[in-house]
């Protein structure tokens, strides 16, 4: 199978990339912060596994990530712009019956999309705990500090690996700062709107976004899957793709 890449028009006219693999039931997968569809879903074989299971895997590059536009104008970053871009993608594809999932920021974006009105059949939240939604301001402050100290951060600093990953992904720091400022906390009581079956899947050493079991308890119909790894490591493990496949096929 070959990945097919194209572009679609996001919120406000932004030119955003979309990568497709396979044929079958539509599954939209959204990557994490400073990553890309290639890094999160394609490189480690998750997209291929899901395509072999009968899905058309639809993987956007978020605004300011991957092959998508990374504008430097503040007006290109209204509140919740990633959720608005996700809604634009679903509309452009004409999807009515689909599954949706994301890892880390992609999970957060998927939740925000549902709160804006998207209605996937099933929802996958990878690398996410309750605090990553309800306490996003703490994560936001961490990443803004990384940008502030980017050139001064050395080995041993808690932010060192984040800087190295950003460098490897060639992150546009101006666009990244603007994007981070579009995100707000998600009140736990609003999660009652996520009435579809939800899978919360996290690495056994991953608490970067808080407690996944607390997130499961806050959702009306959720299950918890544990896979090996840290936040950055678990996405490289085949167990992530298998957990998604098994949940969606159940």
Q: What is the pLDDT of residues 163-222, one digit of tens each?
A: 999 999 999 999 999 999 999 999 999 999 999 999 999 999 999 999 999 999 999 999
Q: Report residue 78: phi and psi, to 5°.
A: -70, 170
64 pLDDT above the threshold of 90: yes
Side by side, the strands of the sheet bearing 55-60 are 4-9, 15-21, 55-60, 25-30, 99-103, 123-126, 198-203, 222-227
pLDDT score at 142:
93
Question: What is the per-residue pLDDT for 138?
Answer: 87
Res 75: pLDDT: 97
pLDDT for 226 = 98
Say which residue the tokens 């890449």 belong to. 5
- Only one residue has tokens 């209605």, namely 119
Whole-number mean pLDDT of the chain? 96
Alpha helices (runs of H) in the chain, residue ranges in sequence order: 37, 46-52, 81-93, 105-115, 130-134, 136-148, 160-168, 173-180, 212-218, 231-234, 238-249
Mean pLDDT to the nearest integer, 29-43: 97
120 and 114 Cβ atoms separated by less than 8 Å: yes
pLDDT of residue 5: 98
pLDDT given at position 137? 85
**pLDDT exceeds 90 at position 149:** yes
Residue 25: the pLDDT is 97
Q: How far apart are CA 77 and CA 181, in angstroms?
A: 8
Position 136 pLDDT exceeds 90 = no
Q: How far apart are CA 12 and CA 198, in angstroms?
A: 30
Report yes or no: 23 and 33 within 8 Å, Cβ to Cβ: no
Are the C-beta atoms of residues 41 and 29 closer than 8 Å to each other? Answer: yes
Q: What is the pLDDT of residue 195?
A: 97
pLDDT of residue 1 exceeding 90: no
Summarised one tens digit per residue, pLDDT across range 90-110 is 999 999 999 999 999 999 999
**Which one has a higher pLDDT value, 95 or 137?**
95
Domains and CATH numbers, the chain: 4-249 (3.40.50.1820)
């Amino acid at each position: 199978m070959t990945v097919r890449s194209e572009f679609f028009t996001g919120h406000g006219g932004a030119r955003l990339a979309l990568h497709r693999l396979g044929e079958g039931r539509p599954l939209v997968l959204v990557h994490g912060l400073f990553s890309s569809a290639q890094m999160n879903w394609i490189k480690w074989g998750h997209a291929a596994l899901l395509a072999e299971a009968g899905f058309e895997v639809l993987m956007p590059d978020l605004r300011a990530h991957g092959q998508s536009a990374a504008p430097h104008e503040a007006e290109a970053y209204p509140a919740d712009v990633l959720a608005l871009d996700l809604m634009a993608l679903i509309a452009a594809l004409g999807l009515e019956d689909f599954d949706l999932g994301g890892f880390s920021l992609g999970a957060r974006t998927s939740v925000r999309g549902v709160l804006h009105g998207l209605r996937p059949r099933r929802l996958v939240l990878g690398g996410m705990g309750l605090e990553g939604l309800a306490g996003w301001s703490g994560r936001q402050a961490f990443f803004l500090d990384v940008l502030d100290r980017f050139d001064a951060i050395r080995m041993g600093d808690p932010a060192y690996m984040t800087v190295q990953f950003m460098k490897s992904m060639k992150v546009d720091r101006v666009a990244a700062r603007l994007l981070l400022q579009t995100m707000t906390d998600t009140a736990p009581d609003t999660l009652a709107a996520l009435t579809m079956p939800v899978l919360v899947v996290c690495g056994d050493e991953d608490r970067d976004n808080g407690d996944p079991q607390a997130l499961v308890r806050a959702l009306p119909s959720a299950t918890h899957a544990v896979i090996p790894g840290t936040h950055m490591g678990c996405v490289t493990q085949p167990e992530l793709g298998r957990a998604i496949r098994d949940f969606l096929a159940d």
